[in-house]
Structures are given as structure tokens and as C-alpha cells.
Amino acid sequence: MKLGPHLAHLLKIKCCFWYCRSVRNCSLQGSIPDFSRIANLSYLDLSWNQLSGSIPQNKLSNNMTTIILSHNRLNGSIPKNFSLLPSLQKLSLENNFLNGSISTDIWQNKIFNTTSRLVIDLRNNSVSNISGAFEPPVNVTLRFQSNPICSSTSIRNIGKYCGPDFGADDDEPSNSTNPSGVCPIHACPTDNYYEYVPASPKPCFCASPLRIGYRLKSPSISYFDPYKQLFESYVTSSLQLDLYQLWIDSYFWEKGPRLRMYLKLFPVVGDNTFNESEILRISEIFASWEFQGSHLFGPYELLNFTLLGPYSHLNPEMKGKRQSKGVVIACIVAAGAFAAFVSSIATILITRRRAKYQKILSRKRLSSSLSIKVDGVKSFTFREMTSATNNFDTSTQVGEGGYGSVFRGILADKTVVAIKRAKVGSLQGQKEFLTEIELLSRLHHRNLVVLLGYCDEEGEQMLIYEFMPNGTLRDWLSAKCKKNLKFGARLGIALGASKGILYLHTEADPPIFHRDIKASNILLDSKLTAKVADFGLSRLAPVQDDEGLLPNHVSTMVKGTPGYLDPEYFLTRKMTDKSDVYSLGVVFLEILTGMHPISHGKNIVREVKMAHKSGVMFSIMDKNMGSYPSECAEKMVELALKCCQDKPEDRPSMLEVVRTLETILQMMPYTDTDPLDNKASFSETTSSASFSNTRSGDLFISSSNVSGGDLISGVTLNITPR
């Protein structure tokens, strides 16, 4: 069945809604379809596309408040049916080729109250006349700059609406690629998708850009504007371009939170287009993940690399290059598979011949022919592991857990690593083990411990992680630690751990419930950045069933650590994301009080709830935190107790936890605002009052008579491994 042009175009727009979450900047072409049959439509944004033709004359929904058709190639007159929209608040038609007259009925027929407002933007068009009495009320903002109407002497006070800054709205996001609004769109050729280079050192320079869809998967920021210039420097330096060659066309936050943006890359001044080799170079950098690492912006994904106009002929060639690469890769994989098959047969024959002469050892067997190649994760030999740990000498052991032992190792290239060696009872089937490696290799977040490699030889299963020189959070809260974490550092650690858990819940594919969040599973690097550890395949969140339904829990055998376990999970064996929230709330209470979850028959949640209810919360706060703002401490206590509510539905989501901690952190008196400095310090006013005579309403609380603005105090860290 052949679709009509309007129906086909409408389907394309629906697809763009699905994939782009917005019809803005989706490279749409053709005419605008008829939206008059959508009864409840209230917002329409088709801006920054290549739409042409006239604006449909059919009346839109009475609910319509906003129409944005700017930065297209629309022509013809402005429809009078806009005057029939009683709820209209914004009509944005700037930077098109509209001509003829505009009817004053659009604003004269509206009934305004004291707060209602209508903005009509027609800048950079060819409107030549106004039909009707031109007496706009104060509630109406008109923008006519760069239209023939502005030179008319017959329209009273028309110059008032033709100034470059008239009606400027500070609350309205600016997204114009017309620098300062001084270059009329008609001066830039419309063929080959030319447009002005917004930041060009040469005024009104026209060029054809590359259009790129780009998404930050887990940035460590919640607000983009303060970091926009840093991001521009980060991208242009990675692409070896000048700053003016990048333009962030639009951006918006998605669930996660993830930051989606649309970028335009312009050629250097003097060249109106990129040459073929430069396009291929840039596309390969994006496609091959060659961007330098950034803790601030985190991992990214390329959504689209759109080649239009003068670049459209490159699509088949680039596709061919990818296909040729794919053929080579397929050949290599096939050859490798054949070699593995031959090797497997030879291994079986040799093993059978020598079986009667070999002594079978429980932990000494040849590795299976199953293997995987995972980008960024190295397969280590058993010999490399024994060499790194001096044959697993007890002096290199730094930890012990249910899974096995953890050793500090030094690789041949002097890299210090943590080697997690499974004990016999924890060994998985090899297929499950390699599947877990593949899963862990896809997890990338600044607040998760990085997997560097694995070892699957000699009947051993080992995971090799980056080494955390500052141990665990539990070590730092222990009385054995001779250094004291100040309140600001503890707050930063709580926020970092929360962001890591949020990533596991929302960004991991598939999502992961940690199930064993505790202070000893939160590690600290050299800058005291929190890194969540001990997550993996056995903690996968629910997946869709055959009918596409997603359960809200996973039924499992109860696993976890006493004192951190969600009571609801313990009773029902149903693990949810709120189970992790409960455990994290217990960690927050540890951070605030220094207490263990269970000690001498006392439960930390019950003890803190009683102290908070009795109004003596500050009497049980950790006395090693130094001075801190009482309001910040109170808000963190409230958050921790919300996380530890008995009913899961009463607990906040992980996103709410992160946002609350960010708000508390913003309340702290910063002395170092460098966003790239992970070791920000806080200026803390010291009070001479002790806990016995300090009121919770005081601005600052001093947990001891020790003053200080550093994050940590004391001398050498001396922790006995557990």
C-alpha cells in the first residue's frame, strides 16, 4: 500500500517522537502535515528542521498554547486561523520565508487577564504588511526585526517592534544559530543545507555542518549550564577542532538521568564544507570511542551521525567501509572459531591419552575451550596472578569475604590491582563466569569499581579490579583508623555511592539490584571518591516476561548482611530497588554516627529513630566529624531515616536520594568550586560548644573541640585488614 505524502510524513514525525523525544532538530523535510484532527494537542515544536511549503490553514485544537515552527524554510502567508486559538501563548515563526501580511485578529480576538501573555516572533521573514488596527495590548509581545514591514512609514510605532532586543525574554532558551540576530537568513544560501556559523570569528560566515546526536549516559553533574564551556573544550580537543567549530544546537535531560544533545560541527573559516577525509576522521573518532576519559561527563553513546546536502553522497561509501571492516572481522572470528575447534579436538585427544597418568586435582585443571574477548577487559594467566601476588602470599591479602579472598597485586607493568580469588564453594560454571565478565565490562561509572580483567585458568576464577588505596568506608569509620573523615567528605562519599547505585538501577543493561550494600562494599580511591564494589550477575533486576510485563521485584533466597537487610525483603523474599535504598540508608546512619549496624544487641536504625524522636540526635553523632552546619546534618539524618522506613513505598527512589544529597551539598559553604577537583574542601566555622550544651538549631555544630576545614585530619592511616 502506497502511503500518501502527508500520512507518510506524519509517520516519520511519530518515529522522530519515539526516538528523539522531540520533533525539534530531527532533520525533517517536506511540508507540515495536518494536525487539526488531534483533539487535545496543546504544544507543537517542529523547529530546526528543513520543512518547506506553506503553513496548513486548518484550525488546531482549542487547547493549543505553543506553536514553534522557527528555523525552517516555510513560505506563504501567516494563516488567519491562529486567531481562533483562545489558549495561544506563544507563536514562534522566526527565520523562515513567510510573506504577505499578518492579521491583528491573532491578538485582538483574545481576552487577556492580568497574568496572561502572548508572544509572536516573526523575525527574519518577508512580512510586508499588517491587516487591521495596529494597537497591540500590553500583554502582547511582537518581534518584527528584519522584515520589510519595519521600513513601512504608514504603520504607527512599527519601529518599536523592530529593534534587535525588543521583547527579549531571559527565561526563553536561546538556540539560534544566527549570531546576535544581525545576519538575515536570506543572505545565507539555502541549498546544500548552509547556515550561519554561530561562533565564527568571521561575521555572517555560512557553512554546511555535520549533524550529530550524542548522549551522556551517566554524567556526574545534574546541571549542564555551568559545565557547558568545559564540555565544548572536552569535545573539540578530542576531535582536534577549534572551539568555534562546535555548536550545541539543543540538549535536554532524560530518565537516568542521561543528557541527550544535538551537536553541529562546522568546517574551518574559509571552507564552506568538510572534505571527505575530515568527515571520515571525525566519524571514526565518534564510532570507535576514542574520546579521552572524563570523570565529569562519563561514558557517551553516538545516536546518529547525519550527512545531508553536500555530504549525502558519502553515506554509501562510509557504509561500505563499515561493511568491509565487518567482513574482515567476520573472517577473523570465523578463523578463530575454526582454530578453537581444532584446538578443542586436539586437547580432548591428548587429555584422553594422558588421563591415566595424571593426578586429578580439584583446583588444577586445564581451562575450558570456552573463552570470550571483551573490549577493555584483559584475560590474565594464572602465572601472571601468582607473580603479581608472590604466589598469593598472606602478606598480600587485604580482605576476606563470602566469595573468597582479596589480594593486592602488582602486574608486570607496575600497575597495582586488587585480585578477587574465588574459593572452592563460590566457583561458578565457566559459562556463567564468562557471562558475568561480559556484564561487568559494560558497566562504566565513576562511582563503580572498574573491572580490569579476569583469570580463568587452572581451575581458578579471579576478577582483577582497580586497587583502592584508601580501603573501605567501614575502615575509615572504625575506631582503628587514625584519620578522621570530616562531615563534608562523608557527605561527598554518600553522594558518590548513591550515584553508583542509581546507575546500576537505571543505566546498567540489564539493570542490577546490588543486594549487599554496606560500608565495607564502598571503597575509596586516592581522592576519597566513593566506588561501589561487589555487584554482578547474581543480582540482576527483573526482566520482561513473555507478555512484555515487568515485575517490580525478584524472588530470591535471602542474601545480604545482617543489619543492612530490608525487613520487607527478609519477610517476603521479594527484592526491589527499595531494598537497596534501605541498605544505603543504614550506611548513611553509619556515616553520621560511626556506629556499626548491629553492636552489643543494639540496632542502629532503632537507636537513631529513638534519638531523633527524643530530640537528642546530635548526642549520638560521630564526634570525629569536626564542625558542620547543623541544618545540613539534620537534613541528612531525615534522608537516612526516610530510606530506612519499614514500608518500601514510604522510601524515596534512588533518584530522589541523589537529588536530596546534591541539595545538601549545595548548602555547604564551599571554598573550592573547581568542578574538576574531586577533593573539594569546605570552610567550617568552629564552635567552642560541646555536645552537652549545643542546640540542634545552631548554625554550626562542633562534634569536638577540634577545629578544621580539611576533609581529613590526623596522621598516618593504619588499618588492619579484615
- Which long-range contacts does 665-668 make (Cβ < 8 Å, 24+ apart)? 665/491, 665/492, 665/495, 667/629, 667/631, 667/632, 667/635, 668/488, 668/491, 668/629, 668/632
Q: How many CA atoms lie within 13 A of 343 on its CB side?
A: 12
Q: How many helices (H) and strands (E) does the chain have?
A: 14, 32
Contacts of 363 (CB under 8 A, 6+ apart): 424, 458, 459, 460
Pairing, β 140-143 against β 206-207:
unpaired
User: Which cell is 425 given?
Assistant: 564453594
- Please state the length of the chain: 722
Q: Is 2 annotated in some ligand binding site?
A: no
Q: What is the dihedral of CA 526, 527, 530, 535, to 10 degrees?
A: -30
Q: Which of 249, 475, 516, 580 is catalytic?
A: 516
Pairing, β 451-455 against β 627-629:
unpaired
What gap in Å lies between CA 367 and CA 365, rounded to an integer?
6
Verify whether residue 516 is a known catalytic residue: yes
Closest CA relative to residue 367, chosen from 378, 381, 356: 381
What gap in Å lies between CA 713 and CA 704, rounded to an integer?
13
What gap in Å lies between CA 474 and CA 581, rounded to an integer?
18
- 585 burial class (0-12, 13-18, 19+ CB within 10 angstroms)? buried
What gap in Å lies between CA 465 and CA 520, rounded to an integer?
16
What gap in Å lies between CA 713 and CA 485, rounded to an integer?
7
Q: Are 97 and 119 in contact (CB under 8 A)?
A: no
In single-letter form, the type of residue at position 374 comes to: V
Place of cell 562504566: 444
What gap in Å lies between CA 32 and CA 88, rounded to an integer?
19
- In the annotated binding site for ATP, the residues are 420
- In the annotated binding site, the residues are 420
Catalytic residues: 516
